[in-house]
């Protein structure tokens, strides 16, 4: 595979992943407009987000595993086409049921993330994998950030349906080009689809995420939320038992116990917990009228423009993460990224009265999250065998989503707990919430020091010599 083919493959993967990340974030600023357009209630319109979240959580690890088994290009094209059908349904939707169905299909598109990383590892030379993953991660961050910026202008100029027509066009082209330019996987995982494991995985994810995402509306102590969370824990235990005993597991539990993998998943959970909460509540803070004693009364477009430095910084950080990881090790880059993110949230906690204060925090946040996510992806991809790449990166992305759902719900509870009936939250509610995000990211920084250093393992292997290298289906821990 030549350099030109590498560029073409990367471009197609970037188009697919950016399309998915745009669809995740573009609907957030325009939810009130979708509510008015479909004639639904404020409570019901949140299913536009919840349905997409649930579908992505279920599909991402399963699609990653299926790609390992049946071919990553084949699954990549199929998932993009499913996403396109979802865009078509949402664009044509005149009522909530069709809109929600479309959003479920778009959520299945989350499978492009583990498939994209797996294809890069299969097709790119080893020396270029880290940089390629970093660049792809940075483009995902750009897609998420850009969605918040462009949603308002697209709605104003073209209408809400174009939030889905435009990604549909990009997705169709990406699927067609991917079929032509991406080589089919030479690395396959033998075995069959473990249907009981897939059903149990889907069930516990739906229970946990539905319970957490609806906790603010239904109440954390409501029978529905308590029942869903308890059922999720029971189903999770059942899923682990089935996977542990299975000869053909959907997710190999031995792989999940590798120190590099479980520490990366823990950090991904904490990063997701803070990022999703920040994306949801920093714009809300900025849009609060200054008459409340805080906030700036910003419009949706003004919030998007204020977040542009974060998007740009995240893009640059992702591009640099792979190169810096080769020089300083991915573990040290993750440490630096989580520390920068913690400092950004700390700054928002203590200094949020002026636009320039938030601008500094947004730049730090962009560099921190961009660096962390790119380096984490490299840690996961390089820590497992090639035939487990899709499953491992899919679970890592999924755990970040779980963290995001929990973080958003907890942040909503903390912020709104100080609001008088029918009134706006107080500044103290936001300050407490931002402080919790700061603490979570400092915890993530500490967790990075438990992560094994791949350079040390490589030096140890070089000293021991090739005869000492174990031959096993999974790498040894360090």
List pLDDT tens digits, range 86-100.
Answer: 999 999 998 999 999
pLDDT the model gives residue 109: 93
Residue with tokens 């963290």: 403
Q: Is residue 362's pLDDT more than 70?
A: yes
pLDDT the model gives residue 464: 46
Q: Is residue 136's pLDDT more than 70?
A: yes
pTM for this model (two decimals): 0.84
pLDDT the model gives residue 467: 42
Q: In sequence order, what DSSP letters do the residues of 249-260 get, joined into one string?
A: -SS-HHHHTSHH
Mean pLDDT of 204-211: 91
pLDDT the model gives residue 455: 61
Mean pLDDT of 120-142: 84
Between residues 141 and 380, which one has the greater pLDDT?
A: 380
Say if residues 20 and 83 touch (Cβ distance below 8 Å): yes
Render the burial of 196-217: b for 16+ CB within 10 Å, e for the rest.
Answer: ebbebbbbbbbbbbbbbbbbbe
List pLDDT tens digits, range 212-255.
Answer: 888 888 889 999 999 999 999 999 999 999 999 988 788 888 88
pLDDT the model gives residue 456: 60
The confidence band for 129, taking pLDDT boundaries of 50, 70 and 90, is: confident
pLDDT the model gives residue 191: 66
Q: Which domains does the chain have, with CATH numbers?
A: 1-193 (1.20.1250.20), 251-459 (1.20.1250.20)
pLDDT the model gives residue 101: 96
Q: Is residue 462's pLDDT more than 50?
A: no
List pLDDT tens digits, range 260-307.
Answer: 999 999 999 999 999 888 887 888 899 899 888 899 998 877 887 888
Mean pLDDT of 193-220: 88
Mean of pLDDT over the chain: 87
- Could you tell me the CA-to-CA distances from 9 to 3, 74, 81, 181 in Å, in that order? 10, 14, 17, 6
CA angle, 367 as apex, 364 and 372 as ends, to 5°? 120
The segment with the largest mean pLDDT, out of 191-200, 345-354, 447-456, is 345-354
List pLDDT tens digits, range 464-477.
Answer: 444 443 334 444 44
What is the dihedral angle through the alpha carbons of 470, 472, 477, 478, rounded to the nearest 10 degrees? Answer: 20
Say if residues 13 and 136 touch (Cβ distance below 8 Å): yes
The confidence band for 13, taking pLDDT boundaries of 50, 70 and 90, is: very high
Q: Is residue 449's pLDDT more than 80?
A: yes
Least confident of 130-139, 160-169, 195-204, 468-477: 468-477
List pLDDT tens digits, range 318-353.
Answer: 888 878 888 888 899 999 999 999 999 999 999 999
Mean pLDDT of 439-455: 89
pLDDT the model gives residue 4: 56
Percent of the chain predicted with pLDDT > 90: 43
Q: How far apart are CA 277 and CA 65, in angstroms?
A: 29
List pLDDT tens digits, range 63-85.
Answer: 988 888 888 999 999 999 999 99
Say if residues 10 and 120 touch (Cβ distance below 8 Å): yes
The segment with the largest mean pLDDT, out of 16-25, 116-125, 183-192, 335-344, is 335-344
Q: Residues near 387 by Cβ (< 8 Å), separated by ≥ 6? A: 68, 187, 188, 189
């Amino acid at each position: 595979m030549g350099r030109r083919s590498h560029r073409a493959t990367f471009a197609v993967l970037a188009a697919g992943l950016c399309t998915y990340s745009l669809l995740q974030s573009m609907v957030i600023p325009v939810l009130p407009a979708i509510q008015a357009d479909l004639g639904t209630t404020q409570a019901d319109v949140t299913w536009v987000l919840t349905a997409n979240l649930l579908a992505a959580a279920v599909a991402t690890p399963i699609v990653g595993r299926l790609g390992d088994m049946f071919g990553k290009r084949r699954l990549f094209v199929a998932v993009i086409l499913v996403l396109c059908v979802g865009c078509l349904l949402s664009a044509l939707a005149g009522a909530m049921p069709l809109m929600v169905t479309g959003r479920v299909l778009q959520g299945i598109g989350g499978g492009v993330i583990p498939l994209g990383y797996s294809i890069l590892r299969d097709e790119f030379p080893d020396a270029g994998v880290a940089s390629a993953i970093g660049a792809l991660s940075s483009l995902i961050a750009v897609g998420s950030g850009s969605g918040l910026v462009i949603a308002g202008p697209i709605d104003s100029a073209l209408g809400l349906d174009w939030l889905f027509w435009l990604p549909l066009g990009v997705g169709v082209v990406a699927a067609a080009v991917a079929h032509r330019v991406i080589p089919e996987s030479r690395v396959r995982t033998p075995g069959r689809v473990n249907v009981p494991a897939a059903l149990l995985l889907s069930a516990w994810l739906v229970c946990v995420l539905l319970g957490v995402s609806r906790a603010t509306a239904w109440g954390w102590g409501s029978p529905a939320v308590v029942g869903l969370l308890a059922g999720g824990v029971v189903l999770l235990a059942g899923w682990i038992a089935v996977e542990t005993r299975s000869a053909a597991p959907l997710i190999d539990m031995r792989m999940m116990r590798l120190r590099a993998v479980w520490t990366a998943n823990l950090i991904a959970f904490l990063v997701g917990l803070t990022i999703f909460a920040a994306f949801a509540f920093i714009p809300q803070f900025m849009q609060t009228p200054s008459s409340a004693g805080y906030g700036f009364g910003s419009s949706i477009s003004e919030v998007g423009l204020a977040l542009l430095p974060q998007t740009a910084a995240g893009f640059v950080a992702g591009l640099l993460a792979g190169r810096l990881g080769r020089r300083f090790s991915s573990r040290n880059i993750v440490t630096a990224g989580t520390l920068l993110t913690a400092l950004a949230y700390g700054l928002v906690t203590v200094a949020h009265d002026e636009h320039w204060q938030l601008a500094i925090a947004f730049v730090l946040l962009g560099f921190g999250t961009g660096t962390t996510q790119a380096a984490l992806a490299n840690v996961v991809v390089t820590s497992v065998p090639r035939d487990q790449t899709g499953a491992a990166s899919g679970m890592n992305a999924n755990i970040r989503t779980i963290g995001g759902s929990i973080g958003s719900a907890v942040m909503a509870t903390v912020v709104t707990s100080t609001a008088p009936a029918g009134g706006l939250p107080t500044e103290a509610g936001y300050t407490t919430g931002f402080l919790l995000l700061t603490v979570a990211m400092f915890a993530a920084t500490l967790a990075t020091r438990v992560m094994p250093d791949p350079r040390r393992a490589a030096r140890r292997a070089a000293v021991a010599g090739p005869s000492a290298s174990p031959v096993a289906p999974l790498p040894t821990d360090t």
